[in-house]
Copies of this chain bind each other. A is one copy, B any other.
Amino acid sequence: MPKYHFEDFPVGRRFETESLTVSEADILDFARRFDPQYFHADPDAAKAGPFGGIIASGFHTLSASFSLFFRLHLVEHANLGSPGMEEVRWLRPLRPGDTIHMVAEVTEQRPSQSRPDRGLVWMRHDTFNQRGELIMTANCLHLLRRAQA
């Protein structure tokens, strides 16, 4: 695991993840657990629905996309927990058999005013499918220990 800290995330630094293929079984399994709307959970009913077939829950798209980022283990060592996200946008459906990857880029790096042992890093997280189409984007705040802490 790389021992990255707050200082290792200057504005403009980019990271690209491995890719992941999401199967129909993956979509149905997540839907059964977390989002049983018919267009995620029922392939037959979904054919007549707004997407012409099942698509992944937006929360599945989020979780699967960020799983690729977390498997880089970049923020794990210094991570003090994410305070939140802004501008989550589901732009295109994630369909069975699609292969996704994420590109993350640092957009802001700000030392904490009150706690000298930590700082905040904003990253833009873009998820693309196998055709290079942007399917989701989110700005995520990462609270990270400083190297000298």
A41 to chain B, nearest CB (A): 10
The chain B residue sitting closest to A69, CB to CB, is B35
Considering the chains assembled together, what is the distance between the CA atoms of A35 and B55 in angstroms? 22
Q: Number of A residues contacting the other chain (C-beta, 8 Å)? A: 38
Q: Is the CB of A90 within 8 A of B81?
A: yes
Residues of B within 8 A of A80 (CB): 50
Q: Is the CB of B37 within 8 A of A67?
A: no
Q: With A59-B62, A59-B63 in contact, is A88–B81 under 8 Å at CB?
A: no
A1 to chain B, nearest CB (A): 9
What is the copy number of this chain in the assembly?
2
Q: Is the CB of A38 within 8 A of B88?
A: no
Q: Which A residues are within 8 Å of any B CB, using their own CB? A: 30, 33-39, 50-51, 55, 57-60, 62-64, 66-67, 70-71, 73, 75-76, 79-90, 93
Given contacts A59-B63, A81-B90, A84-B90, 19 further A-B contacts (CB under 8 A): A30-B63, A34-B63, A34-B64, A34-B66, A34-B67, A36-B71, A37-B79, A38-B76, A50-B79, A50-B80, A57-B63, A58-B82, A59-B62, A63-B63, A81-B93, A83-B89, A84-B88, A85-B88, A86-B87
